[in-house]
Structure 1
Amino acid sequence: MAESKSPTVYDVAREADVSIATVSRVLRSPEKVSVSTRERVLQAVRRLGYVPNASARGLADRRTGVLGLLIPGHDIPATSRRLPAEDGAPAVVEFLDDRDGRQADPYRNRYFEQLVRGAEAAAWRAGYALLVAAGTSVSRDVVMHDLAGRVDALAVVARTVPDELLRGSIGRTPMVTVAGEGGTGADAVRVDNRGGMSALVRHVLAVKPPGPVLYLAGPPDSPDAAGRARGFHDAVAGQDVPWHTAMADFTWQGGHDAVTAQLEEEIPAAVIGANDQSALGALAALREGGVDVPGTCVVTGFDGIDESRYSTPTLTTVRQPMIDLGICAVELLLRRLADPDAAPRDLQLPVDVLLRTSCGPLG
């Protein structure tokens, strides 16, 4: 029996009584085609069971129809794996004590989840697929070059690969850096880390109880952490308030351990986390130490992740437009694909301060 032939774009055009170019427009940019024509073409696609051949399309216009997003990854140890049961054997259900919250997935990152959501939505609207990859410390150079060879354009989150690697790749692949400091020669988009932290800290100084301020710093190689640290110093400069810094590394455990150590010396009147995860760890440590929040000590974070809405007390934070960050990154890539010689753009998105129970409004 002869194998049935898969329908082609020519078959769809014949079935819908339109040109091949019109079929292509409907599938790539449907908003540019009238509703009646678009529906006629789509009905033909459904009747015939036509599936566009991305490989053939890429050969025709030297495009893959795919955009890339490279985010930082983790070197996950093999010992962290839960192994499957043997064939036919029942799986073992374990009971774990999670009253302190330490059983949460240490590799989950809400920041990147929302960034990916925004980038994926923008890519899909433009007729592109989004390929997401994570560069670990041992493979980031390899991942960078491999991903760049598979996509039409690439968005790279700061700290994922060294700046010198980015500079060397810009001429070969249209590129945008996300959440960095710019200066690579590529298009860039980031949020106002410095201004947001400065505004938050000024509010904290106005409402906190008497006493010292503890700032939970982020990783020294993070542009986000550097911008927020500058905002903190802008706000405390010239103020008659004692303050000091502890490294929390943007993690729940880092914030928890830094505050636990601080409580052995003195109780702070304010803990300002460089991100929400370290601030949530700080809240847990203060609760364990019997410190009333916000009566004795106010606490704030930065990012606006969902967990900050459900903590006890709810966490005052600076909300980043993380979905918008992903959307803007893709829009910059599309602009670069349309005009390869355009001057690089450097966009900065505004932030919002969300006042909640851990450090509320004045009065």
Structure 2
Amino acid sequence: MAPPNAPTVYDVAERAGVSIATVSRVLRTPEAVKQSTRERVLAVVQELGYVPSASARGLAGRRTGALGLFIPGHEAIDDPVEAHATGTGVRIIDDRTGSASRHRGFRADYFDELLRGAELEAWRSGHALMIGAGRGDGSIDDLAGRVDGLAIVASTVSDEAVERLAARLPVVLLAGGRNELPVDHLAVDNRAGMRAVAEHALRVRGPGAVLVLAGPIDSPDAEERRQGVRDALAAHGARLDAQHDDGLFTRDRGRERTAEALAGGPLGAVIAANDQLALGALDALLDAGAAVPEQCVVTGFDGIEEARLARPPLTTVAQPMEALGRTAIRTLLARIAEPQRARSDERMPVTVVLRESCPPA
């Protein structure tokens, strides 16, 4: 609560000899106010120590000053990591199998970068960013009631929920495949990126089979990447041992599926629908004594930092994850400013990054 004698917008307006509307414009859109007036008002603001009330601005403009980003909630992957108490406030975890790191959850690195971009752009525009995480239509309503616009990662809620929310506030849908909903859509070119990296892998692959770690069947992004791999395989006439997996995009899944494939014979290429699956494939190939890239090349998709630090470093398709978050916020602000503007459907380009796991020919 503000101190009882805290200066108000009325005090500033009276001292500066302007209306309260002019004070508001100076603080929110200073470029719209004549320089001499702006300087006089800002001098009074400084003299009185006036701090604008966010709640008052929201009531006056029917705005909250906040934007929302809704992402999939992290799901448990394994049983809790076993830890041993030492009696000193410190726990000891045996992480020789990587069990602790697996509990970062579903595509954590991807969402870290997406959130960073959205936070930076919201801060730059003078807005707060509220984050929600969950799955299912009931998990998003509370967030939607607190913000002026909402960016939603595709497939976290139903199409019906997206349409219902779009009737009351600006909505931009992030990622996913083709969008027929009446909302702005922002995604990356999954199919073209996956085709490009798969074609390169097929050109330089070893003599063994081609393994495709395709990701969840119900993921629109994974389906577009499957199409890209199919395009590349059709062009090369390569043998396909595809794993159409309905599990998560996890390192464990990549390790398990690659180990199973290796039990049936040597692999010449592993083409994975995300970096975590590809990192798991590298683990399995290392365990089996298969040389990468001499015997088998490996590629991923996303461009997370862990891919660069892998041994060998992972060839991947880098998504503009931070830029995706920034552009989502800009799209919301444009929709708020101009509600009747034409619906946008933007595909951001991706970049194939060649590293040692699948080097240039």
Amino acid across the alignment from 1:245: A
Give matches, 1:1-363, under 5 Å: 4-13=4-13, 20-29=20-29, 45=45, 48-75=48-75, 80=80, 90-94=88-92, 96-104=93-101, 105-107=103-105, 109-136=108-135, 140-181=136-177, 182-246=179-243, 247=245, 249-362=248-361
8 Å contact kept, 2:71–2:134: yes
Q: Runs of 5+ in structure 2 lacking a partner?
A: none
8 Å contact kept, 2:272–2:278: yes
Range 343-352 or range 242-251, more displaced: 242-251
Amino acid across the alignment from 2:162: L
Amino acid across the alignment from 2:150: L
SS at 1:359 equivalent? coil
Say if 1:75 and 1:265 are closer, same or farther in 2 by CA, change over 3 A. closer
Say if 1:236 and 1:38 are closer, same or farther in 2 by CA, change over 3 A. farther
Offset, 1:71:
0.5
Say if 1:36 and 1:204 are closer, same or farther in 2 by CA, change over 3 A. farther
Q: Runs of 5+ in structure 1 lacking a partner?
A: none
Map Cα deviations across residues 222-244 of structure 1 (whole Å, 9 max, x no partner). Answer: 11101111100011014232121
SS at 1:133 equivalent? strand
8 Å contact kept, 2:278–2:300: yes
8 Å contact kept, 1:211–1:242: no
8 Å contact kept, 1:65–1:128: yes
Q: Partners of 1:98 and 1:50 in 2: how far apart?
A: 54
8 Å contact kept, 1:29–1:126: no
Offset, 1:44:
5.5
8 Å contact kept, 2:207–2:267: no
Range 105-114 or range 196-205, more displaced: 105-114
8 Å contact kept, 2:71–2:132: yes
Map Cα deviations across residues 93-148 of structure 1 (whole Å, 9 max, x no partner). Answer: 31x33233332033260111111111122222222111110013xxx322222111
Offset, 1:153:
0.9
SS at 1:254 equivalent? helix
What's the TM-score once normalised by structure 1's chain length? 0.88
8 Å contact kept, 1:211–1:241: no
8 Å contact kept, 1:28–1:126: no
8 Å contact kept, 2:206–2:267: no
Say if 1:228 and 1:42 are closer, same or farther in 2 by CA, change over 3 A. farther
Range 33-42 or range 340-349, more displaced: 33-42
Say if 1:238 and 1:53 are closer, same or farther in 2 by CA, change over 3 A. same
8 Å contact kept, 1:253–1:281: yes
Map Cα deviations across residues 160-203 of structure 1 (whole Å, 9 max, x no partner). Answer: 10112112221112111000221111110000000000011111
Say if 1:103 and 1:340 are closer, same or farther in 2 by CA, change over 3 A. same
SS at 1:160 equivalent? coil
What's the TM-score once normalised by structure 2's chain length? 0.88
Say if 1:17 and 1:309 are closer, same or farther in 2 by CA, change over 3 A. farther
- Percent of aligned positions that are identical: 52
- Superposition CA RMSD, Å: 2.8
Map Cα deviations across residues 224-268 of structure 1 (whole Å, 9 max, x no partner). Answer: 101111100011014232121112631111101111111111121
8 Å contact kept, 1:319–1:353: yes
Q: Partners of 1:172 and 1:45 in 2: how far apart?
A: 35
Q: Partners of 2:66 and 2:346 in 1: how far apart?
A: 23
8 Å contact kept, 2:9–2:23: yes
Count of residues in Structure 1 that have an aligned counterpart in Structure 2: 352
